[in-house]
C-alpha cells in the first residue's frame, strides 16, 4: 500500500520536531487545560467534614460545607464543572430509591450550597437510583431482580426535574434505561427548565472498573447480581453508536463514554460520527490503578495521570470527568 504521505530519510527526520521542549510544544496536536476537566466528587450527608474512601487513595467523601469549599477551589483553579455523586445514610435507602426524589435531601442541598459558593462553576448531577436503592441497582426491580425500564424512567424524569429546580446546570442520566433521555427532556420542558442541559451516559459499559466507586457511594455491599441487562456489552462498538444516536435524537446536549481509557476507540468513533460534545469518564477503577501503582513506586503517578488525561483529548473527547481534576488543574496552573 502506498503511503499518502511519501517521506524518505534523510530529507525527512521526524526527530527534528522532538529535539527541544519549545518545538515539541509548538507542534503538539493536542493540549490539556483546566477547561477540559470536570471534577468527579463524592458527597455525603453526615456531619464529618471528610471521610476517606479506602479503595480510592487520596479520595474523600465531602460533607455539604466541604463540598461548597471545594466548589470555590474549582473556581479558583479554572475547573469549569463538578459532577457530584451522593453517599447517603443506608437507613434512607429502600427498594424504590425514594430518597432520590426528596427535595430536601442531600443532592438538592449540596447543589444549592455549591452554587451559592461558586455560581460560575457548573454543577452536574447523576440521574440514577443506585445510590438510593437498598439493592444497589439503577432502577426499580421485579421479583426476579430484573430492572423494570418504564417504571424506572418515570422516577428518573421526576428526579431530574427536582435536581434542575435545585439549581443543577446539567442532569446526567447514568441508568441506561431505554427512552429516559426523551422522557427527561419532555419533563424539563414541561417544568420550564428549558435551559437545563442533559449529558447522557450514552455509551456506558458493564465494566469491572466501577468497583471502587461503589465503595465510595456505599452500594457495593448492597448490589445484588450485576448490571449486564442494562449496561452495554464490552464486546460491542456499533451498539454504542446506536445508543448515542438515540440519545441525541431524544434531546441530549452532550454524550459520554464510560469507562474512559479502555474505550478510547469508542470515544473516537462517537466524536467522529456525531460531532457533538463528547465527554470521557475516567472512572474509579482507572483512578485506583494509577494511585495504587504510584504509591508503590511502580509508575510516576503525576506523569501517568497527565498522560491519560491528554489521551482522552487525543481520542476526541472535549472534556474528562475525573477524580484527578483538582490535582491536574494545580499542575496545569503552575
Do 257 and 270 touch, CB atoms closer than 8 A? yes
- Which listed residue (204, 227, 291, 313) is catalytic? 204
Do 124 and 84 touch, CB atoms closer than 8 A? yes
- Average pLDDT of the residues in 308-318: 98
* pLDDT band at residue 222 using 50, 70 and 90 as cut-offs: confident
Alpha carbons 216 and 244: distance in angstroms, whole number? 28
Alpha carbons 37 and 71: distance in angstroms, whole number? 13
Ligand-binding site membership of 243 (annotated): yes
The DSSP line for 189-238 is HHTT-TT-EEEEEEEEB--GGGHHHHHHHT-TTT--S-STTTSBPTT-SH
Q: What does the pLDDT read at residue 218? A: 86
Q: Tell me the pLDDT tens digit for each residue of 117-156.
A: 999 999 999 999 999 999 999 999 999 999 999 999 999 9
Q: Is the pLDDT of residue 221 over 90?
A: no
Q: What does the pLDDT read at residue 2? A: 63
Q: What does the pLDDT read at residue 4? A: 74
- Average pLDDT of the residues in 8-33: 95
Q: Tell me the pLDDT tens digit for each residue of 255-299.
A: 999 999 999 999 999 999 999 999 999 999 999 999 999 999 999
* pLDDT band at residue 161 using 50, 70 and 90 as cut-offs: very high
Q: What does the pLDDT read at residue 189? A: 98
Q: What does the pLDDT read at residue 24? A: 95
What are the C-alpha distances in Å from 58 to residues 155, 286, 299? 34, 14, 17
Query: What CATH number labels 31-333?
Result: 3.20.20.70
Do 113 and 27 touch, CB atoms closer than 8 A? no
- Which listed residue (93, 115, 227, 258) is catalytic? 258
Question: Residue 203 pairs with which residues in a beta bridge?
Answer: 257
Q: What is the pTM of this model?
A: 0.95
- Average pLDDT of the residues in 313-327: 98
Judged by DSSP in three states, 5 sits in coil
* pLDDT band at residue 5 using 50, 70 and 90 as cut-offs: confident
**Which of 37-46, 92-101, 177-186, 211-220 is predicted with the least confidence, judged by mean pLDDT?**
211-220
Q: What does the pLDDT read at residue 7? A: 81
Alpha carbons 289 and 133: distance in angstroms, whole number? 28
The fraction of the chain above a pLDDT of 90, given in percent, is 94
Instruction: Verify whether residue 69 is a known catalytic residue.
Output: no
Q: What does the pLDDT read at residue 255? A: 98
Give the residue extent of every domain in the chain.
31-333
* pLDDT band at residue 201 using 50, 70 and 90 as cut-offs: very high
Q: What does the pLDDT read at residue 1? A: 52
Q: What does the pLDDT read at residue 130? A: 94
Amino acid at each position: 500500500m502506498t503511503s499518502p504521505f511519501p517521506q524518505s530519510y534523510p530529507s525527512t527526520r521526524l526527530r527534528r520536531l522532538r529535539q527541544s521542549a519549545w518545538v515539541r510544544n509548538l507542534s503538539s496536536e493536542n493540549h490539556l487545560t483546566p477547561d477540559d476537566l470536570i471534577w468527579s466528587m463524592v458527597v455525603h450527608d453526615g456531619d464529618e467534614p471528610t471521610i476517606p474512601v479506602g479503595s480510592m487513595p487520596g479520595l474523600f467523601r465531602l460533607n455539604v460545607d466541604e463540598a461548597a469549599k471545594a466548589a470555590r477551589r474549582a473556581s479558583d483553579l479554572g475547573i469549569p464543572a463538578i459532577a457530584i455523586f451522593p453517599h447517603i445514610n443506608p437507613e434512607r435507602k429502600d427498594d424504590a430509591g425514594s430518597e432520590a426524589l426528596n427535595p430536601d435531601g442531600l443532592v438538592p442541598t449540596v447543589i444549592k450550597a455549591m452554587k451559592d459558593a461558586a455560581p460560575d462553576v457548573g454543577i452536574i448531577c447523576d440521574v440514577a437510583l443506585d445510590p438510593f436503592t437498598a439493592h444497589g441497582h439503577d432502577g426499580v426491580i421485579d421479583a426476579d431482580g430484573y430492572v423494570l425500564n418504564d417504571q424506572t424512567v418515570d422516577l428518573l424524569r421526576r428526579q431530574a426535574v427536582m435536581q434542575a429546580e435545585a439549581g443543577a446546570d446539567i442532569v446526567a442520566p447514568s441508568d441506561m434505561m431505554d427512552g429516559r433521555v426523551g422522557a427527561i427532556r419532555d419533563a424539563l420542558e414541561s417544568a420550564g427548565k428549558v435551559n437545563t442541559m442533559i449529558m447522557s451516559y450514552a455509551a456506558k459499559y458493564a465494566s469491572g472498573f466501577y468497583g471502587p466507586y461503589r465503595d465510595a457511594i456505599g452500594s457495593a455491599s448492597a448490589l445484588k447480581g450485576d448490571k449486564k441487562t442494562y449496561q452495554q456489552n464490552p464486546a460491542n462498538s456499533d451498539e454504542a453508536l446506536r445508543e448515542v444516536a438515540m440519545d441525541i435524537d431524544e434531546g441530549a446536549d452532550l454524550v459520554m463514554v464510560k469507562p474512559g481509557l479502555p474505550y478510547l476507540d469508542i470515544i473516537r468513533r462517537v466524536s467522529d460520527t456525531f460531532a457533538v460534545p463528547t465527554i470521557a469518564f475516567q472512572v474509579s477503577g482507572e483512578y485506583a490503578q494509577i494511585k495504587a501503582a504510584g504509591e508503590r513506586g511502580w509508575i510516576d503517578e503525576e506523569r501517568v495521570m497527565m498522560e491519560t488525561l491528554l489521551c482522552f483529548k487525543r481520542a476526541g473527547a472535549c472534556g474528562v470527568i475525573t477524580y484527578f481534576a483538582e490535582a491536574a488543574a494545580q499542575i496545569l496552573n503552575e
